[in-house]
Chains A and B, each alone.
Chain A
Amino acid sequence: MSRPELVAPPEIYYGDTEAKKYTQNTRNQQIQADMTYRALELLSLPPGSPAFLLDIGCGSGLSGEILDEEGYTWVGVDIAPSMLEVALEREVEGDLFLQDIGQGLGFRPGSFDGAISISVLQWLLNAETSHPTSSPPHRLQRFFTTLHSALRNPSRAVFQFYPSSDDQIQLITSIAQKAGFGGGIVVDYPNSKKAKKVFLCLFVGGGGQQEVPKGLEGEEDDGRAMFERRRERERSRGKNGKRKSLKDKDWILKKKELYRKRGKEDIPRDSKYTGRKRKPVF
């Protein structure tokens, strides 16, 4: 798995070209959309009441678009100006802020009914300078404390992120707990290499009544595994190890019909000899 957070800080990695690429990639859009829906599910907002949400690391607004569709009012913060520019072009509804979440959020207490964050937290785990305020624990602590106060009581914050080790999960959860959050980690599809997704579900208040939701189990239903097509092709080989010809009689007839429809001239007639197996030459 590639780890862009190890390449450069986010505001530099997501420059103009990378921001465009990231947003236009349909597979990426799909993954982001799925994770946003799942995060909203884990947020389990009371139905029917219009909520005011915070999208942390909103980027180009891929997740924000879904919040728009679902009828939420939202505010997005991100550190990459190029991503925010793309978000402006895409005319998302939310208010956008250029902000480094590691420096803390400047919202009044109780501002938001919930927060979501898709593929962001791992970016906080690298130190960019040797200044004490740049160390990951310090930045995480500043972020979680200011977030905790910005959220309403009771409410939830759901983060999808890509930890590269258990130590990272440990560090993040312990700092979040110190900041006053309850909750824990939810892992979807823990046994699938590709579909596995880690969510951090944090609760504000609720008197310890809230239970961490269960992760999804089993295999991911959509999408195909690697080499599936090759396996199918192997299976289509007969007992004698020979592959079934792709260009059999049906295929030839179909092609000829297609050419006739297109008005191509000199298409040979169909006859009993069409697509007949030749005698072996030797």
Chain B
Amino acid sequence: MVRLVTHNLLACHAKDCNTNNFPLVFQNVQLEIREAEFNSDFIRNFLPKIEWNALVKTAYELGDTSLPQDQPEMVDDEFLKNLHHVLFEIHIIEGGMVCPNCKHNYPISDGIPNMLLAEHEIA
């Protein structure tokens, strides 16, 4: 289950891949929408950790345009609901994530991304 909440925290960790290694770009993805329990406290707490531009860009790529381009100053319920949907309810089941810098492809199968590196990629 890759959700955008974790995707937003994920950077490439291959050897010597330290700049421009975030966010990983989704490719050939299969999505599934699963409802999740809404927890406004958690989202409010989580908000400072989110890299907003990356989240919006990825959400657009996945076809969800409910989020504004710029992070709003005011946090209202409608916004939190949309954010909840984007962060927790979009699951990526199959496909891959590609590092924008070193082009390493992390395949996703059955909702579990394979983050293993080959021997020469280990730092």
Give A contacts to B, CB under 8 Å: 49-50, 52, 73, 75, 77, 79, 81, 84-85, 88, 94-100, 103-108, 110-111, 129, 131, 133, 142, 146
Does B46 contact A52, Cβ atoms closer than 8 Å? yes
Q: Which residues of B contact A107 (CB under 8 A)?
A: 9-11
Looking at chain A's contact residues, is the secondary structure mostly helix, strand, loop, or mixed? mixed
Out of A84, A105, A110, A133, name the residue touching B119 (CB < 8 Å): A133
- B28 in the interface (beta carbon within 8 A): no
- B1 in the interface (beta carbon within 8 A): yes
Does B122 contact A106, Cβ atoms closer than 8 Å? no
Q: Name B22's closest neighbour in chain A (CB-CB).
A: A108
Q: Which residues of B contact A96 (CB under 8 A)?
A: 1, 111-112
Q: Name B3's closest neighbour in chain A (CB-CB).
A: A95
Q: Please, how many angstroms separate the alpha-carbon atoms of A88 and B1 in the complex?
A: 9
Q: Name A100's closest neighbour in chain B (CB-CB).
A: B116
For the complex of A and B, 3 pairs with smallest distance between CB atoms: A106-B13, A50-B42, A99-B115
Does A131 contact B9, Cβ atoms closer than 8 Å? no
Q: Which residues of A contact B11 (CB under 8 A)?
A: 106-108
Q: Please, how many angstroms separate the alpha-carbon atoms of A107 and B51 in the complex?
A: 13
Instruction: Give the one of A85, A96, A146 with max B CB within 10 A.
Output: A96
- Give the distance to chain A from B7, nearest Cβ to Cβ, in Å: 9
- Give the distance to chain A from B6, nearest Cβ to Cβ, in Å: 4
Give B contacts to A, CB under 8 Å: 1-3, 5-6, 8-13, 22, 39, 41-42, 45-46, 49, 51, 110-117, 119, 122-123
Does B2 contact A95, Cβ atoms closer than 8 Å? yes
- Give the distance to chain A from B31, nearest Cβ to Cβ, in Å: 15
Out of A49, A73, A88, A98, name the residue touching B115 (CB < 8 Å): A98
Q: Which residues of B contact A108 (CB under 8 A)?
A: 8-11, 22, 51
Q: Name A102's closest neighbour in chain B (CB-CB).
A: B122
Q: Please, how many angstroms separate the alpha-carbon atoms of A49 and B46 in the complex?
A: 11
A98-B49 contact in complex given A104-B123, A106-B10, C-beta closer than 8 Å: no
Q: Which residues of A contact B12 (CB under 8 A)?
A: 106
Does B13 contact A111, Cβ atoms closer than 8 Å? no
Out of A49, A98, A100, A142, name the residue touching B123 (CB < 8 Å): A142
Q: Which residues of A contact B111 (CB under 8 A)?
A: 88, 96
A103-B122 contact in complex given A96-B1, A108-B9, A111-B9, C-beta closer than 8 Å: yes
Instruction: Give the one of B3, B9, B114 with max A CB within 10 A.
Output: B9
Does B116 contact A103, Cβ atoms closer than 8 Å? yes
Out of B9, B13, B45, B113, name the residue touching A103 (CB < 8 Å): B13
Q: Which residues of B contact A99 (CB under 8 A)?
A: 115-116
Out of A73, A77, A98, A131, name the residue touching B42 (CB < 8 Å): A73
Instruction: Give the one of B2, B45, B51 with max A CB within 10 A.
Output: B45
Q: Which residues of A contact B2 (CB under 8 A)?
A: 95
Does A49 contact B41, Cβ atoms closer than 8 Å? yes
- Give the distance to chain B from A124, nearest Cβ to Cβ, in Å: 14
Q: Please, how many angstroms separate the alpha-carbon atoms of A98 and B41 in the complex?
A: 29
Does A50 contact B115, Cβ atoms closer than 8 Å? no
Q: Name A106's closest neighbour in chain B (CB-CB).
A: B13
Q: Please, how many angstroms separate the alpha-carbon atoms of A5 and B1 in the complex?
A: 28
* Extra contacts besides A84-B112, A88-B112, A103-B117 (7): CB < 8 Å: A75-B9, A98-B112, A98-B114, A103-B116, A105-B13, A108-B11, A133-B122
Q: 14 A-B pairs, CB-CB below 8 angstroms? A: A49-B41, A50-B41, A52-B45, A85-B110, A95-B1, A95-B5, A96-B111, A97-B115, A99-B115, A106-B115, A110-B49, A111-B9, A111-B49, A146-B13
- Give the distance to chain A from B71, nearest Cβ to Cβ, in Å: 17
